[in-house]
């Protein structure tokens, strides 16, 4: 099946999830050909749940020892998506298109459709998700922006909401995406770290330490004393990243059908912005759907 209006391209249902045509073909190629490095750590998420932030944090954490004296982080001049390649785009056809010294690869691919080579590897994964209402609102702004830039009439919020509630969204159904990684994290807790945007926002410093520990590069006592954790928190804050020239005025383009301003990845960066965009009835409806879908899984997403 195929639907329009979800992105600037058509979207297709494949193995139970919806994909933009731009990524689907490459995902299929990655499923057959991608081989991870044993040191790879996968940054996994459904779109609009905090991927850009998580990429920035993990990149800053694992490159910190390279930075001394005058060498500044690449995050000051490169968009986080340029620092961490996307499996189903950057690496599907050209696995070598990466800085192998940075052991990070990102993907939005649901757990059940990941290349078998990743599932059977010892590679660690970090998953981030978010309240469905905020994820939906963020996604709608993103899609509308992308459609406007292609001179396509933007999908209305109401129409996109109906689609989202019926499971049709980029890499959705959203709940199935979350559940796939949640269940895998229960099965392989040492391999998969399951995080939420809300928890990370509420105590970013504790999460920076947790991430470093999980990634096998804990902060030393000396680093902690020198304020290294706080430096990373500040460097990757919404305030800091969204005001960098590259993120304010640069463009993120994968090919002619996908070009957006980097600034669309930095919209508000807040918890609960859905209230400014959805009616209370819409909010309650999506909450009910999520509650139903997550029932019995042991997962309760923070709001």
Among all residues, which ones are annotated catalytic?
Answer: 108
> DSSP state, 90?
I
Could you give phi then psi for residue 51, rounded to 5 degrees?
Answer: -60, -45
**Residue 124's beta-bridge partner residues?**
41
Among 175, 266, 282, 289, the residue binding ligand A3P under the rule CB under 6 A is 266
Determine contact, residues 254/111, Cβ cutoff 8 Å: no
Q: Shortest Cβ distance from residue 35 to ligand A3P (Å)?
A: 26
Under rule CB under 6 A, residue 62 binds ligand A3P: no
CB 231 within 8 A of CB 213: no
- Closest separation in Å from C-beta 49 to ligand A3P: 5
For 9, which DSSP code? Answer: S
Is residue 110 near ligand A3P by the rule CB under 6 A? Answer: no
**Residue-by-residue DSSP string for 264-275:** GG-S---S-GGG
Using the rule CB under 6 A, is 45 a contact of ligand A3P?
yes
- Contact status: 261 vs ligand A3P (CB under 6 A): no
Using rule CB under 6 A, residue 12 touches ligand A3P: no
CA dihedral 258, 253, 271, 45 (to 10 degrees): 80
Q: How far is the CB of 118 from ligand A3P (least distance, A)?
A: 20
Cα(219)–Cα(267) distance, integer angstroms: 31
By CB under 6 A, name the one of 212, 241, 289, 290 that touches ligand A3P: 241
Q: What are the tokens at 217?
A: 């590069």
Tokens of 54: 């998580």
Can residue 53 be called a binding residue for ligand A3P (CB under 6 A)? yes
Residue 269 interacts with ligand A3P (CB under 6 A)?
Answer: yes
Q: How far is the CB of 134 from ligand A3P (least distance, A)?
A: 6
Nearer to ligand A3P, 270 or 288 (CB): 270
Site for ligand A3P, rule CB under 6 A: 45, 47-53, 134, 138, 141, 236-238, 241, 265-269, 273
């Amino acid at each position: 099946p195929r639907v329009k209006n979800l992105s600037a391209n058509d979207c297709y249902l494949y193995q139970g999830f919806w994909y933009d045509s731009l990524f689907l073909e490459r995902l299929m190629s990655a499923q057959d050909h991608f081989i991870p490095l044993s040191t790879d750590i996968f940054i996994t998420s459904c779109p609009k749940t905090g991927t850009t932030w998580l990429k920035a944090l993990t990149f800053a954490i694992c490159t910190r020892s390279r930075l001394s004296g005058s060498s500044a982080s690449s995050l000051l001049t490169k968009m986080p998506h340029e620092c961490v390649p996307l499996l189903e785009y950057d690496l599907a056809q050209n696995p070598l298109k990466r800085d192998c010294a940075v052991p990070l690869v990102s993907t939005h691919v649901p757990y059940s459709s990941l290349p078998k080579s990743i599932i059977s590897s010892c590679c660690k994964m970090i998953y981030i998700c978010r309240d469905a209402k905020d994820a939906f609102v963020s996604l709608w702004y993103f899609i509308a922006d992308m459609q406007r830039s292609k001179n396509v009439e933007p999908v209305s919020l109401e129409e996109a909401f109906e689609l989202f509630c019926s499971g049709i969204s980029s890499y959705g159904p959203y709940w199935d995406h979350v559940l796939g990684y949640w269940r895998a994290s229960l099965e392989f807790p040492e391999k998969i770290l399951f995080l939420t945007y809300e928890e990370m926002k509420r105590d970013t410093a504790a999460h920076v330490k947790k991430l470093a520990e999980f990634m096998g590069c804990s902060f030393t006592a000396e680093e902690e004393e020198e304020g290294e954790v706080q430096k990373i928190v500040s460097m990757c804050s919404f305030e800091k990243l969204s005001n960098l020239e590259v993120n304010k005025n640069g463009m993120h383009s994968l090919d002619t059908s996908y070009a957006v301003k980097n600034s669309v990845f930095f919209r508000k960066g807040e918890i609960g912005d859905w209230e400014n965009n959805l009616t209370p009835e819409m909010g309650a409806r999506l909450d009910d759907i999520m509650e139903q879908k997550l029932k019995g899984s042991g997962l309760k997403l923070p709001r």
